[in-house]
Structure 1
Amino acid sequence: MGKFETKLAEMGVKLPDAPAPAANYVPYVQVGDMVYVSGQISSDDSGLLTGKLGDDLDTAAGAAAARRCAISLLAQVKAACGGDLDRLVRVVKLGGFVNSTPDFTEQPQVINGASDLLAEALGDAGKHARAAVSAASLPLGVAVEIEGIFQIA
């Protein structure tokens, strides 16, 4: 295990196998030293994390769902790096989508679940630009979907 996975393990996080795409797209595309990871939906070992923020989910539950998306993003980056997550140079940008009611305004706090995990696990390499936006619905009713851009060596 490299330094990033060791830190994740200290945090109680074990990267799963990279999730397979659910439709006609690829999980990531590498162009030069950049890896563009397709949107990862919120799920854990028990299945999909579904719901709507501002209705049946609160901000803390949304942040936990976003954290799970970040774990899936890192699993995809690890796959793109041939199994060596330490090839990750930095997280460049996240695009976060939050399944929320029209009056819900805490999308940034929800996506902080992903941002906080990446900063804690990766240090400066985990600090990134991002967007956090509301969506009227997301695939399969999930609470959060996050896509990412990463630089690798």
Structure 2
Amino acid sequence: IDELEVATPNYDGKAMPHLSGFPPQGGYNFDEDHDQEIEGKTPATDEYFLSEIDGWKTKRERGENYVMSALGTWADQMDTYEELFVGMTVDEVEEWFANYTDQNGRPIKADSEAYSELNDDEQEMLADVTSGATMSLSDAHGYFIEAIRASYENRIDLNLNIK
């Protein structure tokens, strides 16, 4: 699983892909040193526009430049979820999500009422998950559960015959 996230040039996240707008718009107010004062505008040229797009990287491609917490990078956390979901059907992934995440799409925390209602095996499974991932699987930063369902529903049967 991977996704592309793009922000304005004024977002100071390390290695965050930017989009200043389209060349005819006249440039984007730019705060190069992030001191809340505009130093100028981004160039309003086709070349600058294309150079921004050329520099875009997905969250996974950003690798070590996308550290989320002490748990590691975005890719590290997504790898934890991917390992958990191996062997599950789409329905089972959605069921897991419904049963073991909070209203923000993050795994249930050990200090919550919902966690105390889980059996020992479920609590152990969540402890394993949260030791490697705490990011949401369904919020404005990415609707991954929905993407899994959509990709399954839009699958194409290839019917390959290999000789």
Q: What band does the TM-score fall into relative to the shorter chain?
A: under 0.3
TM-score, length-scaled by structure 1: 0.23
TM-score, length-scaled by structure 2: 0.22
Question: Which structure has greater strand proportion?
Answer: 1
Which of the pair has the greater relative contact order for Cα pairs under 8 Å at 6+ separation? 1
State the structure with more CA Rg: 2
